[in-house]
Structure 1
């Protein structure tokens, strides 16, 4: 289970010492965190978070030690996945190989970890690539752990979570900006709670490909990149300003490089300011070529993307009228790490998200609870026979039972289709895109025709999804009366493409509506080659 770590009423005094062994030396990282109960992480003493970014891939390996997070290893490599996406939005084989080679090195540290102890997330480059499924399949084969592609706003939530756990708690609101390779995230939050999350299609790698591909830096090209960023920002700058903030924090390599390069030029102590940006802009344009950007704070592997990142940084400062931004080491990977821990404790952001969804669309919570309980009870009876014994099977079935009726708030006619659309196209905190697609498909298939071809798009998992859909439909039919009568215990027996439902003797004859429901259900299931027998 994934948990969103929220502040308690008491202060958060703990911090973790991170032992960074990759370079053979000790390094300290201050990570402010809430105490994690040992029961929450006893099954996974070592965990890992991997961030498949558009510019770099990063991994954090950590362990829980007496309720604290102790970082064991931090690895990062420039992969520039976004640079391998062509005009048809296809990821090149060369870019895939760069990513897979990096993941093979990461896999040496994660290969022994059990399922559930590693979370791998892909961001904008994989959101954009039309052939992402090919890369994901090969990456999962290398890592031995699932890869999920997250939405821009989910990425923003996780970035804010990582920053909130890395910096000391401060009064008031905080603006967090993360300039990535393919997208830039903006969050206004207070302590651990994000109040506004936005993701824009501008990044240092994608803008480099568009405006500085040959490495030449001219005032005209820089102005084009700056203007493009300002145009992107126009849609969100008023919303951000309306909320306001007391401090601004940047969480990316681009922002760190701008701060360090400014410091190297004698401006400030690593913070980003309008004066530092202006000085860097003049110097960058004077040099005129990325190969000449030999400045303190700009690593050789960042020179090619620095002008684009600087143009975006200047646009952000101008649009939001910022006077100062400080850099924070914590970002997406730290947020993923804390979110992973949360899956094994009592509070899960996904549960909060679904509760809000049910409330927004006026779903009947009592009916949802009845259907959920029956669906999970049915799952216990057939889990072994149908191979539905993974945690995600139970979670997905539970979620679908909760929200299967939300489409009725749009219209009763075809409400299952309305509900599926809402789930697939909403920004649902805590859910990956695949989570949402699978959940939407269960809601879409919970009544009338089952779209078999849509299930088959999920490959081998499609068979398991159809079986979960059958269990959901069974639970809904079982409670068609909506709790107005006491329901009997039933026995379920499952075959590869069959389900046998055994009611107590005489009960069906005494309840002809339920009997008719199941007879009709048998007809619907027969259309996908599934046999339902009721006696």
Structure 2
């Protein structure tokens, strides 16, 4: 959890990308708005290959991952929490026991680990790629082939215009089509056809928007580029003509064991034909004629995302503003609720151990969005709002943060039951969210008249599951609706063994 800090911005930033095939870490220095890479580390962990038939990560795969993270952890030692981002991608999105692994990873690293959705992964990849290329005018298509998913993005300069994540990757395709290390024409045809079928979901949308240049940003695409250069089919670029010739040669070779002759590293040989099949499908389905390789990727995108937050250019604020506008939220009322909730937060944050930037952020954003469900129906609108936040693509937000945001919106009114927190696995997170929920509930009640009245000069006292609110003398005498709301709230909270009392 990111602690509140008024200190100067951190000099060093670090990002860890726990991919389905490889784990990568990059450490960089922030100089003004520029990021200068100091160190890169990467290991083939093949986390995606460690999923059993029930989509649980095996203990062996978890241990491989933890061994890698232990080496990364030594390099991170002493860095402030706000300067580090650690994310997991497709393998952890799929794994049914990911929460158990995350707890072990967080304990080892000493930093929170977040699982990001496929479209958020695509946004960050584009952010990383766009900062490593010249600032050309015109749209570019970016493709990143991971171990379990492949991301496709069309963007212009630093802004993604269209993005998607498809459930196909070099590890999953290796397991499906090349598990025995053989490369036959039939296997290659089936793999390319499978990729083309997945691409039907985005083919028309992407081709209609169009692009002026195509860029690849993953290890698989880099390896293909290098092989084409080794064979003198291209000078390092990737063309459709060269891809077709390489396809023929791979089938003629017939075995992944022979890929070393083309300069493919031993740890990449088993997944090379799978990555090739996915890229071949993309070239043919999307009508790509040529592509260049760029070194930037998800981890670089994470660094620029951290820098943006530090420099108060947080994409999450734009996401929240966009949701308010899309669902026609009463922003004046939301602002009044937010101000009241933050006034309460400041008084009890220490007593309830909520003194973190992330706690204040999720409280503020939940206040701004607590009424988005009204766009669907007034009845049960808190549940509608929670559903929208839980399952929408929210640029900048991890899956865990979305769940927390949805939980606060779900619990801001009516019954206060354990069902509100059913999407939260960690008992400590449930404790935090229960207290934050109480604060937003109190703020909504005090702003029930919807006249954007400044919050009263109330005083809160908190001790564990006991909360007392002190109002100015006679303040409630002229507000019978607020008094009735507070009486109802006392009953709601009492059912969860929370003692709520009002003093005037």
Q: Spell out the pairing of 1:478-497 with structure 2 (5 A cutoff).
A: 478-483=446-451, 487-497=455-465
2:122 and 2:6 map into 1 onto residues whose CA distance is 25
8 Å Cα contact 1:499/1:533 also seen in 2: yes
Q: Which residue of 1 aligns with 2:230?
A: 264
For the 8 Å contact 1:41–1:64, the answer to whether it is kept is no
Change (3 A) 1:194 1:490: same
Distance in structure 2 (CA, Å) of the matches to 1:222 and 1:441: 46
TM-score, length of structure 2 as denominator length:
0.97
Q: What is the Cα deviation at residue 292 of structure 1?
A: 1.5
Whether 1:286 and 2:252 are equivalent positions in the alignment is yes
1:428 matched to which residue of 2? 394
Q: Distance in 2 between matches of 1:157 and 1:165?
A: 13
Q: Secondary structure at the match of 1:359?
A: helix
How far apart are residue 353 of structure 1 and its match? 0.5
Question: What's the offset of the Cα at 1:295?
Answer: 3.3
- 1:150 pairs with 97, 106, 116, which one? 116
Is 1:172 aligned to 2:164, yes or no? no
Say if 1:41 and 1:344, in contact at 8 Å, map to a contact too.
no
Contact map agreement 2:87 2:113 (CA 8 A) in 1: yes
| Among 271, 277, 289, the residue aligned to 1:305 | 271
Going from structure 1 to structure 2, the CA distance change for 1:154 and 1:485 (only over 3 Å counts) comes to closer
2:187 corresponds in structure 1 to 221
2: CA distance between counterparts of 1:138 and 1:147?
A: 10
Partner SS for 1:293: helix
Post-superposition offset of 1:432 = 0.3
Partners of 1:178 and 1:252 within 8 A in 2: yes
Q: Distance in 2 between matches of 1:325 and 1:41?
A: 44
Instruction: Report the alpha carbon displacement of residue 365 of structure 1 after superposing the two structures with TM.
Output: 0.2
**Paired residue secondary structure (2:416):** coil
- Does the Cα contact within 8 Å between 2:30 and 2:36 map onto a contact in 1? yes
Secondary structure at the counterpart of residue 349 of structure 2: helix
SS in 2 for 1:385: coil
Rounded Cα–Cα distance in structure 2 between residues aligned with 1:355 and 1:41: 27
Matched, 1:405 2:405: no
* Kept in 1: contact 2:340–2:455 (CA 8 A): no
Structure 1: gaps spanning 5 or more residues: 3-38
> Residues 178 and 186 of structure 1 are in contact (CA less than 8 Å); yes or no, is this contact kept in structure 2?
yes
- The Cα shift of 1:352 comes to 0.6
Q: Which residue of 1 aligns with 2:497?
A: 529
3-state SS of paired residue (1:112): coil
Count of aligned residue pairs for this structure pair: 499
Deviation at 1:485, TM superposition (A): 5.0
Q: Is the 8 A contact 2:22 2:45 kept in 1?
A: yes
Q: TM-score, normalised by structure 1?
A: 0.91
The equivalent residue for 1:22 is: none
Shift in Å, 1:466: 0.3
Partner residue of 1:34?
Answer: none
Counterpart-to-counterpart distance in 1, 2:294 and 2:365 = 35
Q: Within 5 A, what are the aligned runs for 1:306-455? A: 306-455=272-421
Question: Structure 1 residue 498 and structure 2 residue 439: aligned?
Answer: no
Instruction: Find out whether 1:107 has 2:63 as its counterpart.
Output: no
CA RMSD of aligned residues (A): 1.6
CA deviation after TM superposition for structure 1 residue 101, in Å? 0.8
Query: In structure 1, how many angstroms separate the alpha carbons of the residues matched to 2:335 and 2:454?
Result: 15
Give, in whole Å, the separation in 1 of the partners of 2:377 and 2:185: 55
CA distance in 2, matches of 1:306, 1:354: 41
